[in-house]
Amino acid sequence: MTNAPSADRVVLRTPLPLVGKAIPAGPRETTRVNPGRGRRIAWAILGLIAVALGGFGYWFLFLSPLTVTIAPVQSNLREEVFGLGTIGARVQSNVGFKVTGVLSALMVDQGDRVHTGQVLAKLDARDIEAQVEVMKAGVAQARANIEKAKADVASAETTLMNDKVISARRDILVKQDSIAVELADNARAQVRVDEANLTSARSAVVLAEAVLHSAEAQLAFEQATLSYYALFAPYDGWVISRNHELGDMFAAFGSSSSSSQSVFTLVAADTIWAVGYVDERLAGRLSVGQPAEIVLRSDPSRRITGHVARIEIQSDPINEERLVDVAFDQIPENIHLAEQAYVYISTSVLPHAVLVQPSAVADFRGDKGTGGHGAVWTVERGRVERRSVTFGPELLDGRLPILEGLPADSAVVAAPVSGLRVDRAAHVAEVPTP
């Protein structure tokens, strides 16, 4: 019985060739395989792989513990306001002579340190010096006249006393009819003359004293005028500019034609400070007396302590900045006016604060310069949570301090990662150093 070939395979049989005879070319026996079955097996394998990968991905993305870094907690954190400004002085003066003259001496120069009452410059004062000597002679003469007038008073008093004694004796002798009445009358008349002379002598003393007062006043005036020929330092300070040379002649300082007649420009040494420009958004946190630090551009590694001495009443409306004058606690020796400076004003100190970058905050509401509200991710008892918190003003390095809203023993996620969701397990990486 001959078996019929199946539908999936066709078998062709060829008789064996005879020995010694050539085998003619002919069709060979072949086998046909069904391609559909192979595809189904391949797709099944791929499906199993995809399910496995999907399950692993789901577990990795949604079920596996996340590794996160947490934000640092810092103690005694200073909140600061920054300002850019220059070194200036509260007291700056242009000083010059009150009289007209020729500049004959210069005792100081630009950059010198001067002290109160120190002579800075002189004018040629030979004529006024001579006038002072004349006034001194007048005072001496007036004093001599007073002494002469007082001597005349003493002489008149003696004469009057003597004539009164003579008149009294003659009155007695007249009563005794020892002398004529005329002699007694003459004696009384002489007493009246002596009294008048004494009154005149006393008036001469008063007049001489008045002349002395006038001479002394004239001398004082001339001496004061002479003092104007020397220029004195009004306070301890620095000479920041010298505006004239020897031999210059100019009008009295302060006259209508003397706008450029100041000899020196001075600044008071104890009034040097840093004038800083602070953003108006931050100026509301400032007050007089707050501690501050000043950094000179020429010495950027050094912070010099100071304090807020004055907040200007008028702001800069164009740049929207407020001028804040920061005084040095101790003025450095090597200080230069108009040098650029940076001021850091401490507005408050936070006992403890968690610091986060703005990128770690979601849904922020408020102003970073004054603080606000937002949401952060936290790790609590090994699980991820989301908390609404309150922020303080932004720090100078851009971080935001969290003031309220964090439960005890919670850690804030410093850098959010993919897969964060509430109640997911989390591992905390090492804490970055603040």
Q: What is the arithmetic mean of pLDDT over 261-288?
A: 91
Q: Same structural domain for residues 318 and 385? A: yes
Q: Which of 5, 28, 63 is nearest to 384 (CA)?
A: 63
Average pLDDT, the chain: 84
What is the per-residue pLDDT across 68-89, written as a single tens digit (0 to 9) for each?
Answer: 888 888 888 889 999 999 999 9
Of 170, 201, 227, which residue sits at a domain end?
A: 227
290, 241: one domain:
no
User: Does one domain contain both 184 and 235?
Assistant: no
The answer to whether residues 161 and 144 belong to one domain is: yes
Q: Does 39 map to a domain? A: no
425 and 303 housed in the same domain: yes
Residues 157 and 287 in one domain: no
What is the model's pLDDT at position 24? 53
Spatial neighbors of 292 by CB under 8 A, at least 6 apart, are 305, 306, 307, 308, 326, 343, 344, 345, 346
Residue 14 lies in a domain: no
**278 and 378 in a common domain:** yes
Q: Quick one: pLDDT at residue 1?
A: 42
Same structural domain, 223 and 233:
no
Question: Of 237, 262, 287, which residue sits at a domain end?
Answer: 262
Number of structural domains (the chain) is: 3
Q: Are residues 279 and 184 in the same domain?
A: no
Task: Classify residue 45: in a domain, yes or no.
Answer: no
Please determine, for residue 13, whether its predicted confidence score (pLDDT) is greater than 60.
no
Say if 8 falls within a structural domain: no
In-domain check, residue 4: no
Name residue 425's amino acid: A
* Domain encompassing residue 183: 126-227
High-pLDDT (> 90) share of the chain, %? 44
Look at residue 23 in the predicted model and tell me its pLDDT: 47
Number of Cβ atoms within 10 Å of the Cβ of 337: 13
Q: What one-character DSSP code corresponds to residue 359?
A: G
Residue 42 lies in a domain: no
On whether both 352 and 284 belong to a single domain, the answer is yes
Same structural domain, 419 and 302 = yes
Do 247 and 110 sit in the same domain of this protein?
yes
DSSP string, 247-302: T-EEPPTTSTT-TT--SEEEEEGGGEEEEEEEEHHHHTT--TT-EEEEEETT-TT-
- 88-116 pLDDT per residue, tens: 999 999 998 888 889 999 999 998 999 99
Residue 48 domain-assigned? no
Looking at the chain, the whole-number percentage of residues with pLDDT higher than 70 is 85
Question: Which of 21-30, 178-187, 206-215 is the most confident on average?
Answer: 206-215
pLDDT at 160: 85
Return the DSSP state at 339.
Answer: -
Other C-beta atoms closer than 10 Å to the C-beta of 60 total 10
Residue 82's nearest CA partner among 249, 321, 336, 302 is 321
230 three-class SS: strand
We report the CATH number of the domain holding residue 103 as 2.40.50.100
**CATH number of the domain within which 401 lies:** 2.40.30.170
In a domain, 365, yes or no: yes
Domain boundary residue, one of 243, 262, 281: 262
Tell me the pLDDT tens digit for each residue of 242-270: 988 998 887 766 554 444 578 999 999 88
